Amino acid sequence: MAFDASVFLDALFSTAFLNGALITVSLALLSHAVGIAISIPAALYISGPPSMLRGLTKVVLGVLRGAPTLLQLLFVWNALPQFFPIFREPWFSPFLAAWIALSLNEAAYQTEINRAALGAIDPGQQSAGTALGMTRFQILRFVTLPQAIRVALPPTANEFITLLKITSLASVISLSELMSVTSRAVATTFQFTEYYAAALVYYLVMVYVLIFLQARLERRLVWNTSVSESEPSMVQKALAFARRS
């Protein structure tokens, strides 16, 4: 069976695929946003001196990191309504269930990233802020966090790419994200390559947009080099290569 370009293009520009991709990207964005919002205070908290409550928090984070994401999705979608009648109401949609499950999962991973990033900052920075009479919040806001963000940015972008792809697991709780749209199309037509190719294009476009944004953000966060000292441009690299060869 040859590759049917018209099926591929139809799939690529169909509203079903576009909707699926929108659900995928919004689920990933919303889950990561909530995950990050939880992870910053969580990372600051678990970095403190050991205590009972801190130990318990670490156990919970460990469970969230340890349990398969698929299991967590199924748990939130199927088991939560068993425990709490409130989740049996019609407003509890697959999207909401996936959002909750992925946010918690992501919060746990992101907490580790942030904890490591905060730990990478020289304790002397804290001392300097303290000696200047700054409050703990001011030190965090103006000294520690801006430096930690630069450390945390690359792993965070990686985390988002993983998350974007993990959203496909939500197809098991009947969320019509990109992969379930694809599977459904394949199931009725058996034209695997065309539909898989269309899905691949969507995922790659989303990931490359993110990589582009990450690179821009990282450039903005470079603080120890002036413009003239920064990376040589493509043209300069090409000229250097031409001279060498």
Short-list 84, 241, 214, CA closest to 157: 214
Our CA angle for 44, 46, 51, nearest 5°, is 135
Nearer to another protein, 135 or 162 (CB): 135
Question: To the nearest whole angstrom, how small is the minimum distance from the Cβ of residue 229 to another protein?
Answer: 8
Short-list 33, 31, 161, 36, CA closest to 103: 31
Structure tokens at 12: 């690529």
Question: To the nearest whole angstrom, how small is the minimum distance from the Cβ of residue 37 to another protein?
Answer: 23
Nearer to another protein, 126 or 191 (CB): 126
Nearer to another protein, 105 or 144 (CB): 144
Question: To the nearest whole angstrom, how small is the minimum distance from the Cβ of residue 62 to another protein?
Answer: 29
Nearer to another protein, 21 or 151 (CB): 151
Count of residues in the chain:
245
DSSP label of 132: T
Q: Note the residues at the interface with another protein (CB under 8 A).
A: 122, 124-125, 127-135, 138, 142-143, 146-147, 150, 223-226
Question: To the nearest whole angstrom, how small is the minimum distance from the Cβ of residue 124 to another protein?
Answer: 4
Structure tokens at 10: 């139809």
